[in-house]
Every structure is written in C-alpha cells, then in structure tokens.
Amino acid sequence: MHMMRRLTCLIILVALAGCTPRGTLQYAGILSVPGQSIRPVFVATDRQPAPRGNDPLARQRFGAVRDARLHYARLDVSIPPDHREGRIEWPDKTEADPARHFTVADSELYSDPAPWLAAIDDRQPPGGEDVVLFVPGYNTTHARAVYRTAQIAEDFDAPQPIIAYSWPSAGMPGRYVYDRDSVIFARDGLEQLLGDLTRGGDRTVTIVAHSMGSQLVMETLRQISIAGDRQTLSQVSAVALLSPDIDEDVFLAQARRIDPFPQPFVLMVSARDRVLELAAWLVGRPSRLGSIEDPGRLAGLPVTVVDLTGLGEGGLPGGHSTAFTAPAAIALIRDMAPID
C-alpha cells in the first residue's frame, strides 16, 4: 500500500512537470483585437530581477532568486477573445498573438510604492476602496503568477484593482523544499505590502491565496497580529484560501494567534486533491488542510468550508486548481464573498 501511494505521488509529480506550461511574459503592445480584454495586474515581488533580451519587458522579468527588497510594477495583460474560463492561453513555440494568446500590452516599473499605490487608486471603480491581493502557490514562475492573476480577474469579473504578490517560488515541481523556505523568507515582504496597502487611508484588502501561498498568508497574518498591528488586520476585509497546503495542526495554531480574525474567512477544499496528497506524503502527514478529513477539527473557528470535491479538475492535473480553473467551480464561486 505504501509503495502504491508512493508510485501515485511520483506519477503526479511527473504529470505536473510535463503538463504545466512553463511560459514567459511576451510583449505584443497595444493592438486592437475585436473582443479582447485588457486586465491591469499590479505586482509586488521580492524576486530578484532577471532581465534578458531587448524587448520592452526585459526589466519586468523576475526569477527565482530571493531579494531583500520589494519591486513594484503594473502589467496590462491582454486576454484573447476566445479565452476559455479557467485557462491561460499560453503561446506555443510561435510568437505570441493577442488574438489567440495571453500577452502583455503595456507595463510600468515603479521606483517606490507611492506612485504604484496612486496608480492602483486610479483604477478603482466609483466609490471603491477594496483591492484583491492574489498570493499564488508552489511551483509558480513570475510569468505564471502574473497571467494567473489576470485570468482570475477576468473569469471572476473583478471590478476592483487586482494585485499579485509574486513571492520567489522556484517554479519547478522538484523544488518543493525551496518553495517552503521561500514562504518563510517572503513573510516580511508580504507584511510590508499589506502595510503599504492599508496605511493612511480607507483602502481594504481581500486576500485570495492558493496552495502554499495560503501558508504564507497565515504566517504573515500571525506575524502582524503578534506585532500588535491591529490597524492592518482590521483592513483585511476577507480571506479565501484555495486548496491550502498547510498542516492542520499548524493552521489551528496560526488561527489562534490572529486577532482580529478577518471576516469572512473561507477555506475551499477537495478530497480529490492529488497534489495535496503528494504534499502530505512529502511531509509525512495523513492529509493537508485543503483535503481535510475531519472538518470538525475547525469547530469554534470563524471559518466557512466550501467543498469543491466533484466539480472537476480544471486546467491542471490532480484537482489542485479546481477553484479557479474548473468552470463549474468558477460558476459556484463567482457570486460568493469574498471574491465577488
């Protein structure tokens, strides 16, 4: 039985390596394509710049090496007219075509957070004060973090500005331990970002995190609470953890230290998440929070558990991305707080 489970985990790992499009950001400029959609993605990252090439995006490319300071950017992502819900239409080996692929129409780097925050506020709908902060998970390159954020903004039709916190994941299936260490490294950067977003105004933040990004969010909220920064926590308007790759005991300990506890607080789980099964095997535990076997363990916590089991796997194998790639799940979640 143990050998069979181990074999299953290895098969999933190989599938992730072989089926996940690696992709890079590709610049196509502002071209008018009938039916296209342009989604501005604001980016904060503690990855080191990895500039290459002479195209307009050379300075917008960031790698897996960690950086002690945050970089701020905006990328206007063009989404093709035939976009399918839950998909990122990556270019194949040919040059990116905005009529068929995700491309970058325009971009800007900011030397400090002040003009970046002003640009975010300029994108608010009338009377709007909330922003959506997406924290991606394990095995996520910078390009995937940007395009995934744009896909979520498009498919959930988010009216408010959307931000990607592109923490330094290695973006490689075999670098799980590196990514876990990067989560610990990235806590201070996420704390700084949340402070930037909530300081000196009425701006509130809805946090949406996926997979290992959920661990980063919980660690950071705990850190902010221990520091006594109730102001920042009070401006976190909602939290949604999608397929959270967190040890259940660790989550309970983290939650007990977070005060005030953001509301609403939603966990989206699935008993068929094979990637979390792999993670549980890697760390020697029976399950992870995103595939929790006994939701009664969360009794007393102000959390809502949404079970996505049976709603399909979406665009990636293993059922780990159901919440934002399976059309049935997108339809279920679209009108739910906190992602509406």
Domains and CATH numbers, the chain: 2-333 (3.40.50.1820)
Asked if 98 and 36 count as a contact pair (C-beta separation under 8 A), the reply is: yes
Residues 6+ away with beta carbon under 8 Å from 39: 76, 77, 79, 150, 153, 154, 162
Question: 263, 302 in Cβ contact below 8 A?
Answer: yes
Q: Which two tokens stand for residue 41?
A: 């993605």
Res 180: pLDDT: 95
Q: What is the identity of the amino acid at 54?
A: N
> H or E stretch including 253?
helix 248-256
For residue 176, the tally of other CB atoms under 10 A from its CB is 20
Residue 251 has a pLDDT of 96
pLDDT tens, residue by residue, 252-287: 999 999 999 999 999 998 877 777 777 777 776 767
pTM of the model: 0.89
- Which pair of structure tokens corresponds to residue 220? 């950071």
Q: How far apart are CA 73 and CA 61, in angstroms?
A: 11
- CA-wise closest residue to 17 among 25, 9, 26: 9
Shortest CA distance to 305 belongs to which of 257, 271, 278?
Answer: 271
* pLDDT score for 278: 78
Spans of the chain below 50 pLDDT: 1-21, 337-340
**What's the pLDDT score for residue 316?**
54
Q: How far is it, in rounded angstroms, from Cα 231 to Cα 83?
A: 40
